[in-house]
Amino acid sequence: MEKKRDFEVDTKELVKVTASGWMGTAMEFMDFQLYSLAAAIVFSDIFFPEMTPAMGLVMAMGTYGAGYVARLLGAYIFGRMGDKIGRRTVLFVTIMLMGLASTAIGFLPTYQQVGILAPIGLVILRIVQGFGAGAEISGAGVMVAEFAKKSNRGLVGSFVCLGTSTGTLLANLIWTIILTKLDQKSLMAWGWRIPFYASFVIMIVAVLIRIFIKESPVMAEKKKLLTEQRQKELENQKANGDVPTVQKKHFKLSKSLLVALGLRFGQAGNSGIMQTYLAGFMVTFLSIQKTVTTNANIIASLISFVTIPIVGWLGDKIGRRRMYLILSGAMALYAIPMLLMIETKNTVLLTLAMVIGLNVGVQGIFALENVMLPELFGSKNRMTLMALAKEIAGVIATGFGPLIAASLVSAAIGSWWPVAIMIVVFSLFTFVSAYLSVDTNGRDLNDLDDAMDDISLKSENLHNRATSELVDAHTGVKKH
């Protein structure tokens, strides 16, 4: 077996890279939540005032959807750039695009001032924002994974995921203060702009950190290995009497990509159901006050500051694949009890049900995702494939999941069982994908090939399993 290549970890540099990833992820999710709340609270009146309230809300949410389409394009373009010219450069560009676009929304004129140009400007900025976000969290996850030690890659990588909770809490806190302190007239006149100005502060902090971080050590090794690979191919062609040519190899629909899509699809689906749809379900069909669901999400986010690092650490200790199986299996079993607890309409039980569900089926799995996905891909196309896997599966699951749930619940006359079934299906999707995967812990991220195409990794997994089967059941001594 080929000797594994490794590098000495620069602890100071790792701290800066991790902080950079945390801030970038926080900004992405803060922008996500800021826009969601603005679209629901004020945008229909500010940018679409001549429409009916219902249609104005639809149009405001439509501009939100435009950003999701742009994320796919951003994932591909910036993913390719990250694999070609380096992760650091791309992460600098993505944070600037997100931050400037979000800040610029706060400076937009209203429909009353410039007419149709106002909503057009909103759509354009939302597209730019989504374009930058398409590879932000993927790039941050790749960068941190490539800097971290093999032994604690999961724990270190989990800190990037804490940015999701940080951003969500910041956005909710900012809007809560504004809605509490301002009257309706002040809110509509200028107060709605303040949350978007706040994005500029986060952007500046993230940019200042990213200016001083180094390029991933994997990039230098990757160039060396690709040169060696091309040289061997030319020598083999020459030895066989063929005309020496260098063929360009593009990424393909590999087993690793299919597994990554499945892992992401289940997590994103549960996120869409529990973080988006369930709030509306509880308010509409159970007549629960909006503040109850909002408080449950805030409590779940706060607890995730403990859950996420613990899951990342356990992934290092017992394996990320095994943790995926445990969490997704547990969520599939918990779906029905969770909905039964919510159906009681008891505030304490309802909050407890949501907190457990979000930390197991969404945040916990997300802590594994941001490390295992980079490990599944080879260094040749790692950033591109990870970004595409996250965005394609995410757009489909979060885009259609809540819509399908709403349709099924409506057909079932407000019953909870379609919601439970969808959570079970999404969780089993993740479970099966993890089962079909390989153990990626300790993988050399310098390797060019994807994990499930890496012969050495497959041999190592088979050897480990065969060795464990040869342990004598009575003495516990390995047979040779």
Residues 207 and 269 in one domain: no
- Which of 217, 242, 273 is the endpoint of a domain? 217
H helical segments located in 377-416 = 382-411
Same domain as 264, residue 175: no
- Residue 430 inside a domain? The answer is yes
In the chain, how many domains are there?
2
- pLDDT higher than 80, residue 67: no
Please, are residues 148 and 315 in contact by the beta-carbon 8 Å criterion?
A: no
Q: Answer whether residue 278 is part of any domain.
A: yes
Where a domain ends, among 217, 239, 268? 217
466 pLDDT above the threshold of 80: no
Segment holding 319, helix H or strand E: none
- pLDDT above 60 (res 479): no
- Read off the pTM: 0.82
Assign residue 35 the CATH number of its domain.
1.20.1250.20
Structural domain boundaries, residue 370: 254-480
Same domain? 148 vs 263? no
Q: In which residue are the tokens 């061997």 written?
A: 232
| Cα–chain center distance at 367 | 9
The closest alpha carbon to 278, from 426, 425, 420, belongs to 420
Q: What is the mean pLDDT of residues 212-235?
A: 74
Each residue's pLDDT tens digit, 339-360:
999 999 999 999 999 999 999 9
What pLDDT sits at residue 103? 92
Least confident window among 17-21, 169-173, 236-240, 306-310: 236-240
| Domain co-membership, 404 together with 460 | yes
CA–CA distance, 130 with 74 (Å, rounded to integer): 7
More confident position, 165 or 65: 165
Q: Please check whether residue 447 lies inside any domain of the structure.
A: yes
Q: Are residues 199 and 260 in the same domain?
A: no
- Same domain for 299 and 443? yes
Asked if residue 228 belongs to a domain, the reply is no
User: 280 and 201 share a domain?
Assistant: no
Angle at 61 between CA 166 and CA 193, to 5 degrees: 60
For 287-337, write each residue's pLDDT tens digit.
Answer: 888 778 778 888 998 999 999 999 999 999 999 999 999 999 999 999 999
Examine the pLDDT at 176 and tell me if it is beyond 90: no
Q: Is residue 239 part of a domain?
A: no
Closest CA to 414 of 276, 291, 282: 282
How confident is the model over 303-315, as pLDDT tens digits? 999 999 999 999 9
The segment with the largest mean pLDDT, out of 1-5, 48-52, 88-92, 290-294, is 88-92
Tell me if 238 is assigned to some domain. Answer: no
> Which residues, at least 6 apart from 393, have a Cβ–Cβ distance to it below 8 Å?
261, 262, 264, 265, 268
CA pair distance 357, 354, nearest whole angstrom? 5
Q: Determine the Cα–Cα distance for residues 477 and 330; give it in Å rounded to an integer.
A: 33
Does 180 share its domain with 291? no
Summarize the confidence of residues 246-272 as an average pLDDT. Answer: 82
Asked which of 194, 217, 240 is the last residue of a domain, the reply is 217
Sequence-distant (6+) residues with CB within 8 A of 222 are 379, 380, 446, 448
CB atoms within 10 A of CB 265: 22
Predicted pLDDT at 406: 82
Query: Quick one: DSSP state of residue 450?
Result: -
Type of residue numbered 374: P
Q: What is the mean pLDDT of the chain?
A: 83
Give the end-to-end CA distance of the chain in Å, rounded to a whole number. Answer: 19
Count Cβ atoms below 10 Å from residue 149 Cβ, excluding itself: 16
Q: Which segment of 10-19, 316-325, 353-362, 364-373 scores lowest on mean pLDDT?
A: 10-19
* Residue 231 covered by a domain: no
* Top-confidence residue, 333 or 24: 333
Residue 306's pLDDT is what? 95
Residue 1 has pLDDT above 70, yes or no: no
